[in-house]
Chain A
Amino acid sequence: MTTIGVTRTTLLKDLLMEWRSKDAINSMLFFALLVVVIFSFAFNPTAEESRRIAGGLIWVAFLFAAVVALNQTWARELRNQVLDAYRVSPAPPNALFLAKAIGNFFFVVVLEALMAPLFVVFYDLRSVGPVWQLIVVALLGTWALVVNGTFFAALSIRTRSREIMLPLILFPISIPALLAMVDATTSILTGEASPDFWIKMLAVYDVVFTAVCLLLFESVLNAE
């Protein structure tokens, strides 16, 4: 019953269930695809303009798509009240949170990997800065979105209109992370400035919010 053991067991269970249903990944993909296509028709940017707006565009698309998946994170646990079975067990509450957050991280990273080539094609994107920095920003930014998203999705599971509650709570708290993601991405794509500050800010944001979420999750799980 170690935290790592239960996290692994829960994560594998979630991946198996998602593999069978494909609920989260399908809805995320469909949503992100729509955003990419609609924005490309709406703006029809040149390569230079694309580099300037792509940072915002990419992260807004991923943020909205991630919310679709995050809303479903706890839905399976609420059906048949399965969450009660976890709560009465001696398994550590944080293991459940970590498994959900890592699972969501995996789903959103898969989405980003699938959508990245489409962004390149639709917006004629060429990065002036090093591409590996984009990968660092993507990983740190994605964790920032899912760690808070998973936590606030858990917080809103007992509310009546949780699909609306999640973005209402998540978006304001994600503003510093979103700002860092967008500016870091734009800096790398245009090559006009160093993204170091924004990457460091994202890393700090991740550490702080992961710690806070882990500290508070047990209270959220057992709230009546």
Chain B
Amino acid sequence: MTGSSDLSSSPAIVLDNLVKFFGRFAAIRGISASFAPGRLYVVLGDNGAGKSTLLRMVAGLMEPSQGSFTLLGTKNHRKVAHRVGYMGHAPLLYDELSGMENLRYFAGLYGLDDDTVCRKAMQMVGLDPELSRRIGQYSQGMRQRLSLARAVLHDPELILLDEPFSNVDVHSAREMAAVLGRVRDKGKTIFVVTHQATLMEGVADEFVHMAAGQIVSREEAVRKAALSNAEWTPR
């Protein structure tokens, strides 16, 4: 399967007969696909379809049992780690630190020591950089948003988001979706694994349907310009 648009530029991700076993259970069953850059893909499917496993493999958190994949033009994924952002199921944040302290630490891992980057990332997701509360005292929605800020902190070309809207209220989730649309408009490639497809309608470029460890269909989506112009109200 091949992403239908932007075929002139090299694909952001090429999956070549990817297989992942957990013991004798095959979570991913021979996926071959290509994804063009600068597009927002929404990966849908029932629980156990293999969405998160696929995303974790692409993020470099799991090795495929068989097959291989090319990420941003290379099979050496460590080489492009600074060009990839990943937001997991869990927040991937330290409860004992404040939002800015968390972002400062993760920025340091990418060689960024400028506070402005962290402030901008927090503001982008509608959080106040001056908030001194520790993450442990944040609401679930605030954690999710800070987690998104952490994933995009280093301005990655490829953004992988696993259930970014879980535990987020509808209003905030719509704002998050709009932010993702704006990020995509800057030329980034985004993968969103979610069960809330309706939130991504009007923002997504393509819906990728998975079932039983395989991509069963891909459908082009209709983009709405208005959604991408929505503003996030800082809290």
Chain A positions within 8 Å of B, measured between CB atoms, are 1, 5-6, 9-10, 13, 16-17, 20-21, 76, 79-82, 84-91, 224
Contact = CB atoms under 8 A, between A and B. Distances in A.
B88 A5 contact: no
Q: Which of B88, B93, B109 has the most chain A CB within a 10 Å cutoff?
A: B109
A81 B92 contact: yes
B109 A90 contact: yes
B61 interface: yes
Contact of A76 (B59, B92, B94, B109): B94
Contact of B91 (A9, A10, A16, A80): A80
Given A17-B94, A17-B97, A82-B93, A89 B81 contact: yes
Contacts of B110: 1, 89-91
Contacts, number: 75
Nearest to B78: A90
Nearest to A91: B109
B35 interface: no
A130 B97 CA distance: 44
A91 B63 CA distance: 19
6 contacts: A16-B97, A20-B96, A80-B95, A81-B90, A89-B109, A90-B81
Nearest to A83: B92
Nearest to B154: A89
B60 interface: yes
B105 interface: yes
A16 B150 contact: no
Contacts of B61: 84, 87-88
Contact of A85 (B62, B89, B92, B111): B92
Given A89-B82, A89-B106, 6 more contacts: A76-B96, A80-B91, A80-B92, A80-B93, A85-B150, A89-B110
Contacts of A82: 92-94
B109 A9 contact: yes
Interface string B43-83: 00000000000000001111100000000000000100110
A89 B105 CA distance: 12
Q: 9 shortest A-B CB distances, which residue pairs? A: A9-B108, A90-B81, A81-B90, A85-B92, A1-B111, A89-B109, A91-B109, A90-B82, A88-B86
B86 A13 contact: no
Contacts of B106: 85, 89
B84 interface: yes
B101 interface: yes
Contacts of A13: 94, 97, 101, 105
Nearest to A76: B94
A1 to B, nearest CB: 4
A17 B90 contact: no
Contacts of B90: 80-81, 84
